[in-house]
Amino acid sequence: YCDLGASTGGFTDCLLQRGAKSVVCVDVGESLLAPSLASDPRVVVMDNTNARYLKKADLPFPVDGVVSDLSFISLSLVLPAVRDILPEGGKAFVLFKPQFECGGKGLQKRGILPVSRHAALLDVFYDTASALSLSPQKIVNAPLRPQKNVEYVVLLQRGGEAIPKYRFLAQAARLL
């Protein structure tokens, strides 16, 4: 697997606990990964690496899947890299954060984006992913936290058939 925006390693830890043989941890920051994960022989750390420009050739070995939890960048800007590193049929579990997809427009106090703006952003995301042959398969809520933005986990698959956009958006709407 490849963990984009690995930070302290929450997704990496989950992957390893569930049997991942190896995880490449990519982060634009430096020395953020929990020491216990950074020293794990199954983990390869790629600090100071911008996921937006990542290519398959940059990775130490091919990966089967991708997870991502990126902040302060639109996920749509990173999707070309996700497509490049995923094999055909490979899956990506990406955290969709509307507050970083809106370009700063409509943010309220503490950076909260009203849920009324989410559908339009998810619509654009669906089109962007589909155009890159990253087929949206499912969308679910990330755990809800009081006074925080509603975020979503989206399952993408390279190639294959996407669920219809109306169903994708309906799944998201039911979550609110």
pLDDT of residue 130: 97
The answer to whether 68 and 78 have CB atoms below 8 angstroms apart is yes
Percent of the chain predicted with pLDDT > 90: 76
Question: What is the pTM (predicted TM-score) of this model?
Answer: 0.91
If one compares 138 and 142, the residue with the highest pLDDT of the two is: 138
Q: Which two tokens stand for residue 138?
A: 């499912």
Encoded tokens for 130: 């589909």
Q: How confident is the model at residue 118 (pLDDT cuts 50, 70, 90)?
A: confident
In the structure encoding, which two tokens stand for residue 47, read together?
Answer: 């600090």
Q: Is the pLDDT of residue 175 over 70?
A: no
Residue 174: what pLDDT? Answer: 78
Distances (CA, A) of 137 to 149, 165, 167: 23, 10, 10
Q: How confident is the model at residue 5 (pLDDT cuts 50, 70, 90)?
A: very high
Domain residue ranges of the chain, discontinuous segments joined by + = 2-174
Helix (H) or strand (E) holding 134: strand 134-141
> Are 59 and 23 spatial neighbours (Cβ–Cβ below 8 Å)?
no
Q: How far apart are CA 27 and CA 141, in angstroms?
A: 24
Q: Is the pLDDT of residue 102 over 90?
A: no
115 pLDDT higher than 80: no
**How far does Cα 84 stand from its chain's mean position?**
14
Q: Answer with the residue of higher pLDDT: 56 or 104.
A: 56
CATH of 2-174, one of 3.40.50.150, 3.40.50.1460, 3.10.20.30, 3.30.365.10: 3.40.50.150
pLDDT for the residue 91? 98
Task: Kindly state the percentage of the chain with pLDDT values over 70.
Answer: 97
Q: What would the two tokens of residue 90 be?
A: 């490979």
Q: Label residue 105 by pLDDT band (50, 70, 90).
A: confident
Residue 158 in contact with residue 108, Cβ under 8 Å?
no
Nearest alpha carbon to residue 23 among 51, 54, 50, 60: 60
Residue 136 pLDDT exceeds 70: yes
Task: Determine how many CB atoms are found less than 10 A away from the CB of residue 169.
Answer: 18
Provide the residue type at 174 as one letter.
R
pLDDT, the chain, mean = 92
Over residues 47-56, the mean pLDDT reads 97
| Closest to 33 (Cα-Cα) out of 55, 16, 57 | 16
